[in-house]
Amino acid sequence: MPEQSTEPRPTLEAVAARAGVSRATASRVVNGGEGVREPLVERVRRAVDELGYVPNQAARSLVTRRHDAVAVVIAEPETRVFADPFFALQLRGISKELTAHDSQLVLLLTEGRDDHARVARYLAGGHVDGALVFSLHLDDPLPGLINGVPTVYGGRPGWSGGSRGAVYVDCDNRGGAREAVRYLVGLGRRRIAHITGALDQTSAVDRLDGFRDVMVDADPALIVESDFTLGGGERAMRELLDRCPDLDAVFAANDLTAAGALRVLRERGRRVPEEVAVIGFDDMLPVTEQADPPLTTVRQDIEEMGRLMARLLLRGLDRTVSAAAAASASGSSAPTGGAGEGLVGVPPSSVVLPTTLVLRASA
Amino acid sequence: MPEQSTEPRPTLEAVAARAGVSRATASRVVNGGEGVREPLVERVRRAVDELGYVPNQAARSLVTRRHDAVAVVIAEPETRVFADPFFALQLRGISKELTAHDSQLVLLLTEGRDDHARVARYLAGGHVDGALVFSLHLDDPLPGLINGVPTVYGGRPGWSGGSRGAVYVDCDNRGGAREAVRYLVGLGRRRIAHITGALDQTSAVDRLDGFRDVMVDADPALIVESDFTLGGGERAMRELLDRCPDLDAVFAANDLTAAGALRVLRERGRRVPEEVAVIGFDDMLPVTEQADPPLTTVRQDIEEMGRLMARLLLRGLDRTVSAAAAASASGSSAPTGGAGEGLVGVPPSSVVLPTTLVLRASA
């Protein structure tokens, strides 16, 4: 760091002086503006190269309103972000797509909900072009705080009054759950239990709805609320076995929960699938394949969902820029709203991907 | 997103109008400037609250030069960031410390080295107050590109000419390696092998040096270059057993590599520690305790290293602000360099933490 204070970054003035042009001309070239003669453009570019000048993005973004950076917010404490492979997979898809468009992935980590106001400040503060937000819980204030920041959600947002035109990428949680439970019924199972996910998330609510679509008169004792974690799955399975020792199948809201359930069933000496069949959700590969026995599950393409989220956001941003350019060319203002505020023109649509039942040994 | 374009964010003009003051006065209040009478300050603050106004950080940061955000760059592809628990632990320490100071952790992920120019653009672009950079490899251009951005390194940077006054947090890699190898010698082992880490990182070079400090005339066939990964450890162990079937101990450059070596030793029917003693480095808890047999290793406090990196950076930034304030109060310019460029005043020092040999069953 002492090194850095003795080598100050070259200024725009230095670039202008070296190129022999005015500061205004140098600024126009650096910010990609028009109306500078080609020989002057050349001289400024050479000076930029020679001095290693890096434009101050804060100043430049006031002009261009683009940062070539997209924020990702996972509305969970950072400890869960690194413990649950679901997030790594989704980030992999996002990272590939953003990199292909030379846009920087900016992951905003938090210790928990209390930090979301700070995250919103960063998002609204002009450091990124938009945001990808996932694992949102129902009462999270974040969506309200980032109104005005182009956003694509991972999973349908669950705020009251529906998704209010928000753009999201999701899988068919309800349909996937229905398929899993119908399969268990087809195996002849009658006492089918459900371990839910965190019910303040729409994915968990939708999977519970899918379970109920098939098990219309389900014994309420066969449904236990849980939280999408391995430990939660263990606790829920113990509770289920104590309450309903005669259960013959379990549909768990995700693979981690199912892995916890399998562990407890083994502890209690219940054979899987002979005595109790188990189905998970997600098809998170190391978890499902290393489970004992390997886990039958509802597959969703998590990496592809991440990629689609990034693609929808970038497409929306491009549309904003085109609309602004068209408006400026025709001398009128942008069709609706300010060009840099939110998205204008035809909005991209949300996408709901299908799921597949993957049969392994547990059911 | 269509929602967002119909509800544009309130402007500073709207705040000024509602408060009944000029735009300049509203701007001074919002940007924390002095010289506005208290009743006017109150009126502007009330208007800000009522309208839900969020200042444009890009504009504001031109004035305050603080973003209350710190970037973290792990100079590895994002797939490794999520596969190696070392990074999660270091991020945990960083996250705790930054949150305690209400500073946002901004993790910049990449697909690999090719993206580092883009990362540097973001860092130099005025979106963060400074950067924490770790897992740097020798020929990475990143440090040169972010000259001017206050930076603390995790692990001693290895560029030629020494660390050139860079501030870093590291553990005593060479001393820790020496202790491990001396312990193996003390057990009566004579054919001690070393599986190195990635030798374009100083941590790997230092651990190799520590090995050589003790095994001064080591048979070169007993040293195999590897890369800090589990798969790398497996490959290296196979090569070692083929070359030197009489080896009786292995010092591996980290725990993942040691876990890979243990797997191959078991495959080949070598009993650990009776026939081959194994020692790792890091003490990464799930890895060392779940190893078969549990792994003897050189412990470094990874989470504490993360915390210290964040603390050193924040302390340096505070010092910059104080120096600028003092200079401004006395009517002179800041002591050295520009106040917002790099750090001024007495620089924080690098920190090298001690290591401890933790004895389990493998040696």
For residue A329, is it within any domain?
yes
Residue B250: give the domain boundaries: 173-300
The domain total for chain B is: 3
For residue B359, is it within any domain?
no
User: What pLDDT was estimated at residue A236?
Assistant: 98
Cβ distance of B165 and A126 shorter than 8 Å: no
The reply to whether B179 and B294 lie within a common domain is: yes
User: What pLDDT was estimated at residue B338?
Assistant: 31
Distance CA A171, CA A299 (A): 10
User: Which candidate, A12, A21, A16, A24, places its Cα nearest to that of A55?
Assistant: A12
Count of other CB atoms within 10 angstroms of residue A291: 23
The reply to whether B178 and B318 lie within a common domain is: no
User: Which candidate, B127, B135, B114, places its Cα nearest to that of B69?
Assistant: B127
Count of other CB atoms within 10 angstroms of residue A226: 27
B210 Cα to chain A: minimum distance (Å):
28
Cβ distance of B8 and A102 shorter than 8 Å: no
The reply to whether B90 and B123 lie within a common domain is: yes
For residue A119, is it within any domain?
yes
Cβ distance of B1 and A166 shorter than 8 Å: yes
Distance CA B127, CA B69 (A): 8
Name every chain A residue with its beta carbon within 8 A of the beta carbon of B316.
1
3-state secondary structure of B171: strand
Distance CA A92, CA A83 (A): 15
How do residues B308-340 score in pLDDT, each as one tens digit? 999 999 998 877 656 655 555 554 443 333 333
What is the identity of the amino acid at A109? L
User: What pLDDT was estimated at residue B64?
Assistant: 54
The reply to whether B133 and B94 lie within a common domain is: yes
User: Which candidate, A116, A122, A104, places its Cα nearest to that of B70?
Assistant: A122
User: What pLDDT was estimated at residue B211?
Assistant: 98
Name every chain A residue with its beta carbon within 8 A of the beta carbon of B125.
54-58, 60-61, 67
Distance CA B11, CA B6 (A): 14
Low-confidence ranges of chain A (pLDDT < 50): 1-7, 62, 331-346
How do residues B37-74 score in pLDDT, each as one tens digit? 888 888 888 888 788 776 655 555 445 567 899 999 99
The reply to whether B307 and B160 lie within a common domain is: yes
For residue A102, is it within any domain?
yes
Q: How confident is the model at residue B158 (pLDDT cuts 50, 70, 90)?
A: confident
Distance CA B358, CA B249 (A): 17
CB contact at 8 A, B291 and B362 = yes
Q: What is the arithmetic mean of pLDDT over B155-163?
A: 72
Cβ distance of A125 and B7 shorter than 8 Å: no
Cβ distance of B337 and A6 shorter than 8 Å: yes
The b/e string for A182-204 (b: 16+ C-beta within 10 A; e otherwise) is: ebbeeeebebbbbbbbbbebbbb
How do residues B130-156 score in pLDDT, each as one tens digit? 999 999 888 888 888 888 899 999 999
A303 Cα to chain B: minimum distance (Å):
12
The reply to whether B177 and B165 lie within a common domain is: no
Cβ distance of B108 and A110 shorter than 8 Å: no
Distance CA A226, CA A233 (A): 7
The CA distances from residue A325 to A25, A58, A62, A64, A308, in Å, are 22, 22, 16, 12, 26
CATH code of the domain containing B269: 3.40.50.2300
Q: What is the arithmetic mean of pLDDT over B152-165?
A: 77
Residue after which a domain boundary falls, among B30, B45, B63: B63
Look at residue B163 and tell me whether its pLDDT is greater than 80: no
CATH code of the domain containing B36: 1.10.260.40
A121 Cα to chain B: minimum distance (Å):
8
The reply to whether A197 and A159 lie within a common domain is: no
Task: Find tokens 């952790």 and name the residue.
Answer: B105
Residue in B closest to A125 by C-alpha? B57
Q: Which member of A56, A82, A167 has the closest CB to residue B88?
A: A82
The reply to whether B95 and B178 lie within a common domain is: no
User: Which candidate, A129, A175, A197, A152, places its Cα nearest to that of A350?
Assistant: A152
CB contact at 8 A, B46 and B106 = no
For residue A19, is it within any domain?
yes
Q: How confident is the model at residue B2 (pLDDT cuts 50, 70, 90)?
A: very low
Count of other CB atoms within 10 angstroms of residue B346: 10
The reply to whether B139 and B278 lie within a common domain is: no
For residue A147, is it within any domain?
yes
| B360, two tokens | 């389990």
Please count the residue pairs, one from chain A and one from chain B, whose beta carbons lie less than 8 angstroms apart. 227
The reply to whether B118 and B145 lie within a common domain is: yes
How do residues B164-212 score in pLDDT, each as one tens digit? 678 999 999 999 999 999 999 999 999 999 999 999 999 999 999 999 9
Tell me, what's the ipTM? 0.73
Distance CA B130, CA B342 (A): 9
How do residues A246-283 score in pLDDT, each as one tens digit? 999 999 999 999 999 999 999 999 999 999 999 999 99
The reply to whether A211 and A286 lie within a common domain is: yes
For residue B361, is it within any domain?
no
The reply to whether A291 and A308 lie within a common domain is: no
3-state secondary structure chain A: CHHHHHCCCCCHHHHHHHHCCCHHHHHHHHCCCCCCCHHHHHHHHHHHHHHCCCCCHHHHHHHHCCCCEEEEEECCCHHHHHHCHHHHHHHHHHHHHHHHCCCEEEEEECCCHHHHHHHHHHHHCCCCCEEEEECCCCCCCHHHHCCCCCEEEECCCCCCCCCCCCEEEEECHHHHHHHHHHHHHHCCCCCEEEECCCCCCHHHHHHHHHHHHHCCCCCHHHEECCCCCHHHHHHHHHHHHHHCCCCCEEEECCHHHHHHHHHHHHHCCCCCCCCCEEEEEECCHHHHHHCCCCCEEEECCHHHHHHHHHHHHHHHHHHHHHHHHHHHHCCCCCCCCCCCCCCCCCCCCCEEECCEEECCCCC
For residue B358, is it within any domain?
no
CB proximity list for A19: less than 8 A, separation 6 or greater: A26, A40, A43, A44, A46, A47
Q: Which member of A1, A96, A108 has the closest CB to residue B167?
A: A1
Q: What is the arithmetic mean of pLDDT over B274-289?
A: 94
User: What pLDDT was estimated at residue A185?
Assistant: 98
